[in-house]
Amino acid sequence: NDDLVVLGIETSCDDTAAAIVRSNGEILSQVVSSQADLLARYGGVAPKMAEEAHSQVIDQVVQEAVDKAGLTERDLSAVAVTIGPGLSLCLRVGVQKARRVAGSFNLPIIGVHHMEAHALVARLIEKELRFPFLALLISGGHNLLVLAHDLGHYTQLGTTIDDAIGEAFDKTAKWLGLDMRKSGGPAVEKLAQEGDAESVRFSIPMKHHKDCNFSYAGLKTQVKLAIASRNIAAKVPLSCASSQDRSSRADIAASFQRVAVLHLEERCERAVEWALKIEPSIKHLVVSGGVASNQYVRARLDQVVKKYSLQLVCPPPNLCTDNGVMVAWTGIENFHVGRYDPPPPANDPEDFM
């Protein structure tokens, strides 16, 4: 029970990921197959297409994770798999694969909550991170402020009332005509470095709502209008744009990023104040999810936590975006407290979802 070797499988959205992690925190292997090409072509995730893409690569991705770890399935202690939230067609591909592996090799199976995994992976990289702690989870589909009291015991302090920040980054990238092959966020972050963040006056969302909720739909609209009013030729790829066109795009990217992140800063300040009243012993703010790989986001939130003498814990970018390591690790944490299912029957033709 002490030394576990767990396979983690993640297929909730557009990445097919698998990893093998040991209970001491050692990452034995990590494989991610991205559908970024599909995304770029269609400008978003289409569930049916994403499901097919997962089905095509899942066996190969898991095999590669096992091989790269220098193991065989017989060396595994358990299989962890994301069971939600996410696109149900896509989740099924991962769950079916997990059940096949667990059934064939008589392994217990651990169902993992995707957002819990984004938060808990911080405990793999920062051994000092103990419960309770505060977590800001920012991705393409979610925007959550969560007070983690203990494993499996969370209080949601805030969520988005419309879009998540990652969605706003992705749309901004698309409307600015940026290269979407690696998802929009990194492209906006890169272009923003050339721009003047004060040049376009976007207003900060929900200024008058004194709570910890988020809203990004209005900011998205503001960006769309700003692009339209500047007559940017977004059909022209950035690499072919005139230098003036390029600099207006950069100004919009920088101004958008600044205000999008100001909204996070404000909400985090309030959440820290709330959290310290409920759990005065918290010492950490975890920031995870795809958008947490943004360096500007990290730098600004680091300033926020310093005011309260807290420590920012941000996993490295490849553990912030969707990955199998966070699923395997969350599986390990749950396994330790007895939260797992017995092995499914071998060669079970049933689909339990």
| Site residues (vs Zn ion, CB under 5 A) | 139, 322
Confirm or reject binding of residue 139 to ligand KG4 (CB under 6 A): yes
Query: Interacting stretch for ligand KG4, rule CB under 6 A, among 23-31, 40-48, 184-192, 241-249?
Result: 184-192
Residue selected from 140, 158, 205, 331 as contacting ligand KG4 according to rule CB under 6 A: 140
The H or E element that residue 251 is part of is helix 243-278
Q: Using omega within 30 degrees of 0 as the cis cutoff, is the peptide bond preceding 108 cis?
A: no
Which of Zn ion, ligand KG4, none does 184 bind, CB closer than 5 to 8 A by kind? ligand KG4
Q: Which two tokens stand for residue 20?
A: 């093998």
Residue selected from 9, 13, 50, 66 as contacting ligand KG4 according to rule CB under 6 A: 13
Report which residue type is found at 272. Answer: V
10 Å Cβ neighbour count for 104?
14
Residue selected from 10, 51, 163, 170 as contacting ligand KG4 according to rule CB under 6 A: 170
End-to-end CA distance of the chain: 28
Confirm or reject binding of residue 344 to ligand KG4 (CB under 6 A): no
Confirm or reject binding of residue 163 to ligand KG4 (CB under 6 A): no
Q: What are the φ/ψ torsions at residue 33 (nearest 5 degrees)?
A: -110, 120
Report which residue type is found at 118. Answer: H
Contact call for residues 134 and 286 (beta carbons, < 8 A): yes
Q: Which two tokens stand for residue 242?
A: 């005139």
Closest separation between CB of residue 290 and ligand KG4, Å? 2
Of residues 84 and 218, the one with the C-beta less far from ligand KG4:
84
Of residues 24 and 221, the one with the C-beta less far from ligand KG4:
221
Residue whose tokens read 């992140």? 261
* Site residues (vs ligand KG4, CB under 6 A): 13, 139-141, 166, 169-170, 183-186, 189, 289-291, 293-294, 321-322
